[in-house]
A and B are shown apart, each in its own frame.
Chain A
Amino acid sequence: MKIHEFQAKQVLARHGVPIPRGRVAATPDECAAVAAELGGGLCVVKAQVHVGGRGKAGGVKLAKTPDEARQMGAQILGMDIKGLTVHKVLVEEGIAIDKEIYLGMILDRDSKRIVVMVSAEGGMDIEEVAEHSPEKIARCTINPALGLTDYQVRHLCFGAGLPKDKVKEIAVFLKALYQAITQSDATLAEINPLVITKDGTLIAADAKMDIDENALYRQKELALLQESEENDPIEEEARRRGLTYVHLDGDIGIIGNGAGLVMTSLDVVAREGGKAANFLDIGGGAKAEVVRNALEVVLLEPKVKGVVINIFGGITRCDEVAKGVIDAAGKLDIKVPVVVRLEGTSVEEGKKLLAESGLNLVPAGSMREAAAKVVELAYAGGR
């Protein structure tokens, strides 16, 4: 789960990381008011969206006066950055930058530990640095029983060629970052850049954190920050209904049970010439109501020209799935073809229920057949 820059900075501040003074604003007038609060001098207006590359997209601007902050706010608010609309900006005091440093920690699948990365090339996309000049990144993994040790901090800072007189101060930032990533159940925490100002002080000018969704039950405060990643209303609705739904940009609705099977259904539909409108996993043991909910959510996307339901019943019973489909089809006025492929537990009962429903549901014997049928029927009236 992504959180915004201003939210990540608040988390870091709680662990003792100095951050620029500032506040989030939702209107141009509010931007001017915050700029005035900050003393009326140089400030920076930054789009708060869940995507990287804001600066390049024009989502970060300097303002010399509160009036300019208002103008910049008006430009940035409502702007579209990589498909996301900007609803909030962060207005912060300007910083006189001398040097920019990168500090990052990420939960690494290969080492099964948190990996720390430090680079003197701050302010840049670390993936680019990693690709073009990997020698400029110092890294090590943290033993969770020991935490980040002093020798590792020295290895990182001297290894990355950071200013020697600042190593002790940077160590404090690294330890705070480690506290933040572990205590917040984050999978990623970055300060990029950590700025050394012209007068020699250190400050976190930008920050990023991703939170592990599996841990939200014990991160109650962070859980409140959850927004659909792209402020997508259908994803929001699916989450309210407890469904695992990912909105995609095609026009074939896809429902299945189990992540691997749904992913495979997407692939098979693509092979047959269709394009998936979504990923929706009803999970294991789903009852009729879940299936009904799933069908309703998938049909919220107006582009959907056909739906394929692909179920391999293990714990999930095919007759429950059939009941849910029939219930939804009876309630909703479904105008697009719905192809249903059932296999596994209680498959005969499920097929019988569908056949006797009198509804316009198209049965399919295999995943491939289901995909071929839905593509054929969905595009029968043209694309």
Chain B
Amino acid sequence: MSIFINHETRVLVQGLTGREGRFHSEQMIAYGTQVVGGVTPGKGGTTELGVPMFDTVGQARAATGADASIIFVPPAGAADAILEAIDAGMPLVICITEGVPTQDMVRVYEVLRHTETRLIGPNCPGVITPGGCKMGIMPGHIFKPGIVGMVSRSGTLTYELAKNLSDRALGQSTVVGIGGDPIIGTAFIDVMKAFENDPATEICVLAGEIGGSDEETAAAYIKTMTKPVIGFISGRTAPPGKRMGHAGAIVSGNKGTAQAKVDALEAAGVKVAATTDEVGELVEKTLREKGRLPAAAAR
């Protein structure tokens, strides 16, 4: 088991013929992801990378039975692409695009909140269920199948943490990058709820960063969880008022500080690691204490 995606997920790529879309579609197919179609307006009826192309998401979903869509459409068209996928009834939509105007996301969210669609992103690396399905831009080989569920607002930091876990023979059930923008479709709390209900996940890692209060909101739920959670917060030394790369990574006044997030998580019983290496150490230690350390990791 896993959350959101698995080996049966039938994936549609919106913007498959763009530079990024093509490169990452090839990579996803090579990983074993079932890419069943692509959407590029005007390319309907052709074939790219061995998969059928469609003009609209509605047509593509009807013809292929796709149940998840990944978006590589440039920023100016990304919000519209998300709305099209929602309108087609796509259960899962992952938007990789960075640079979507925030007010476009305000309108998208207003529609999204009245539907059953789960949107992940934008400005995210995607989701991977190691060994089953990769819907994203992450290098697949650093992830290993296992029992750690991980969620993060950042891309490369996720890779750093995943490699650290994989090197310790601590594989992952699913790894979710929720994105670094101020307005995103799926919050930490949504992913934590899914991990709590996923039989394959035995321990969770939450990697947050400065800005907003998503980590604090998740902390309130984590308090009620049965599974242990290890935390990590980046931007502890970032000065207030400076946007640190991600559109959402900014301490405004006294809001969104790393310390407030660390405090909230610790109050919820989360062990918060001070460095990336310590995340792996804490996962290992916690599993050992519970007698749940995988045999490969115990060596």
Contact = CB atoms under 8 A, between A and B. Distances in A.
A142 B243 CA distance: 26
A366 interface: yes
Interface string B61-82: 0000000000000011000000
Contact of A143 (B105, B110, B248): B110
Given A110-B213, A264-B276, A314-B139, A218 B101 contact: yes
Nearest to A262: B245
Contact of B102 (A110, A212, A313): A212
B224 interface: no
Interface string A342-358: 01110000000000000
A271 B163 CA distance: 22
A262 B235 CA distance: 9
B246 interface: yes
Given A144-B110, A312-B159, A261 B102 contact: no
A343 B235 contact: no
A364 to B, nearest CB: 13
Contact of B106 (A114, A127, A260): A114
A263 B245 contact: yes
B102 A107 contact: yes
A246 B242 contact: yes
Contacts of B214: 109
A284 interface: yes
Contacts of A185: 101-103
A109 B159 contact: no
B237 to A, nearest CB: 4
B157 A260 contact: yes
A322 interface: no
Interface in B116-141: 125, 137-139
B105 A112 contact: yes
A109 B183 contact: yes
Given A109-B183, A279-B244, A279-B245, A264 B160 contact: yes
Nearest to B99: A214
Interface string A56-99: 00000000000000000000000000000000000000000000
Contacts of B239: 248
A260 B242 contact: no
A315 interface: yes
Interface string A233-271: 000000000001010100000001111111110111011
Contacts of B212: 109-110
A258 B180 CA distance: 10
Given A107-B103, A260-B153, A368 B253 contact: no
Contacts of B287: none
B209 A144 contact: no
Interface in B89-118: 99-103, 105-107, 109-110
Interface string A285-323: 000000000000000000000000000111100000000
Contact of A314 (B101, B137, B210): B137
A284 B105 contact: no
A225 interface: no
A119 to B, nearest CB: 17
Nearest to B109: A112
Contact of A215 (B102, B139, B152, B157): B102
A102 to B, nearest CB: 16
Given A313-B139, A314-B137, A215 B276 contact: no
B212 to A, nearest CB: 5
Nearest to A281: B245
Interface string B158-180: 11100100000000000000001
Nearest to B139: A314
Q: Which range holds the interface residue count of chain A?
A: 35 or more
Contacts of A343: 160, 163
A30 interface: no
A145 interface: yes
B249 A263 contact: yes
Given A145-B110, A266-B238, A214 B102 contact: yes
Contact of B159 (A110, A246, A267, A314): A314
B229 interface: no
Contact of B244 (A107, A246, A314): A246
A264 B160 CA distance: 10
A258 B207 CA distance: 14
A112 B108 CA distance: 10
Given A214-B75, A260-B209, A182 B246 contact: no
Given A258-B156, A260-B153, A312-B156, A368 B109 contact: no
Contacts of A325: none
Interface in B143-202: 152-160, 163, 180, 182-183
A151 interface: no
Nearest to B74: A217
A127 B241 CA distance: 14
B102 A187 contact: yes
Given A107-B106, A246-B243, A314 B156 contact: yes
Interface in A180-232: 182, 185, 187, 212-215, 217-218
A213 B99 CA distance: 8
Given A145-B110, A258-B155, 14 more contacts: A109-B248, A112-B110, A145-B107, A212-B102, A214-B75, A244-B245, A248-B242, A263-B235, A266-B238, A312-B160, A344-B139, A344-B142, A366-B277, A367-B276
10 contacts: A112-B183, A218-B101, A260-B155, A260-B180, A263-B157, A270-B237, A279-B242, A314-B138, A314-B159, A344-B163
Interface of A: 107, 109-110, 112-114, 127, 143-145, 182, 185, 187, 212-215, 217-218, 244, 246, 248, 256-264, 266-268, 270-271, 276, 279, 281, 284, 312-315, 343-345, 366-368
Interface of B: 75-76, 99-103, 105-107, 109-110, 125, 137-139, 142, 152-160, 163, 180, 182-183, 207, 209-210, 212-214, 217, 234-239, 242-249, 253, 274-277
The 3 closest A-B pairs by CB, nearest first: A260-B154, A259-B245, A258-B156
